[in-house]
Amino acid sequence: MIALLRAVSGLIGWAAAFTMLYAVQGLSCALGWDGVQVLGISAARILLTLIYLAWLAALAGLFWVLRRRAESADLLTRLGPACAVIGFVSTLYTGFPVLTTTTCA
């Protein structure tokens, strides 16, 4: 059971990152954090960028940890790093608008 959890942990990380970014974006718009400026950048964008970078770092760390275990011949063990890379790339792609688009329309 633990091997299966390790195998899908990258995808679970992507889903959690996407959910957290979406929730914080909605909350920041509802609370008006987009209008609060910190060093010329909105507080909402700073918070979303920090969350985005933290999730990318966490998924990269997950890959690093799972890669060490992948030397075994077990399929689920070898699947873990691949799904961690998929989760990292998915988070990179789906979270990129945090850096480029407006936070509240």
pLDDT digits (tens, 9 = 90+) for 89-104: 999 999 999 988 888 8
Helix (H) or strand (E) holding 31: helix 2-31
37-81 pLDDT tens trace: 889 888 899 999 999 999 999 999 999 998 887 776 688 788 888
3-state helix, strand, coil in the chain (%, to 5): 80, 5, 15
Whether residue 91 is contained in a domain is answered as yes
Q: What is the pLDDT of residue 58?
A: 96
| Averaged pLDDT, 19-33 | 93
Our count of domains for the chain comes to 1
Whether residue 38 is contained in a domain is answered as yes
pTM across the whole model: 0.88
- The domain in which residue 49 lies consists of 2-100
CA distance 29 to 27: 5
Q: What is the pLDDT of residue 73?
A: 67
Whether residue 105 is contained in a domain is answered as no
The β-bridge partners of 38 are 41
